[in-house]
Amino acid sequence: MTPEIAARLRDASGLVFDMDGTIALGDAASGGHKPLPHAIALLELLERKGIPFVVFTNGSAKSPATYAASLRKAGFPVPDERMLTPSASAARWYVREGIGKVRVLGNDGTAAPLRDAGIEVVGPSEPATGVEAVFTGWHRDFVFADLEAACESLWSGAHFTTASHVPFFAAEGGRAIGASYAINVMLSALTGKRPRILGKPGRAAIDTALATMGLPRSAVKNLVVVGDDPALEMRLANSVGALAIGVSTGMMKEVDCLPPRDRPAALLSSLEPLLEAMSA
């Protein structure tokens, strides 16, 4: 870590952490999370120092409150209101755009933040007219009728929106397939529409993270984004001028092959140097 990066860390207005592969790994045996080394100590330090942070996962299988409870069970100091998913930033975006009826290709956890925001949620293959957006998320129970219903909504003018659009994510024992990516590819091929990403690395994600931390948009230059996925956290950070800190405990193993927009300012083999820098 260079002195310049250490200085930017000391001046951080807030930190956005990815979850899987960055601070924790999904634990198949318990269905919960296993903390990665130094992650709990780092979040506890930020808490003590009063430096705002959020955990923003691109997972949409569960509601933010459910993820937060799982992280707390693993020892993390993460209250519900500091946990974000693409559904949280999607709900915020729909409200801003005046969108009130959304077909959700996902489960109850995907839909919960939308319902909480007063948005009418239509089921994956539920017959409906006047659908203003299709939202794809973690939807392992996908069937052909869902494809037909989503295409009908999109052909009728609905916005095509998604939680996430990366083929893989880090899981215990290796990589797992991103459900929304696979569904998006089908919908794009059939409708000619491209999905607007409301999770990372979309602009809605960073706007939601800043608002959640109580920070103005101008604080984005002093924001630090920590993650394991070049196409998610690193791209998000670089697109808004935030500091991109990569960790090699998940998807990212080396950076030389990456395009500049997906490259971290520093790639760390663990969170320990970040803990040290933030302690200074």
Question: Which residues of this chain interact with Mg ion, rule CB under 5 A?
Answer: 18, 20-21, 228-229, 250
CA nearest 252: which of 225, 278, 227?
Answer: 227
Compare residues 132 and 229 and give the one whose CB is closer to Mg ion.
Answer: 229
Compare residues 146 and 233 and give the one whose CB is closer to Mg ion.
Answer: 233
User: At its nearest, how many Å lie between Mg ion and the CB of residue 20?
Assistant: 4
Task: Give the residue at shortest CB distance from Mg ion.
Answer: 21
User: At its nearest, how many Å lie between Mg ion and the CB of residue 232?
Assistant: 7
Q: What are phi and psi of 131, to 5 degrees?
A: -70, 125
Lookup: tokens for 120 = 């009418």
Compare residues 52 and 199 and give the one whose CB is closer to Mg ion.
Answer: 199
- CA pair distance 14, 210, nearest whole angstrom: 8
Q: Which residues pair with 34 in a beta bridge?
A: 25
- CA pair distance 27, 250, nearest whole angstrom: 14
Reduced to 3 states, what is the DSSP secondary structure of residue 184? Answer: helix
Orientation angle between helical segments 144-155 and 179-191, nearest 10 degrees:
50
DSSP track, 131-176: --EEEE---TT--HHHHHHHHHHHHTT-EEEES---SEEEETTEEE
Lookup: tokens for 254 = 């080396």
Compare residues 18 and 152 and give the one whose CB is closer to Mg ion.
Answer: 18
Compare residues 85 and 125 and give the one whose CB is closer to Mg ion.
Answer: 85
Orientation angle between helical segments 86-97 and 108-116, nearest 10 degrees:
40
Compare residues 25 and 90 and give the one whose CB is closer to Mg ion.
Answer: 25
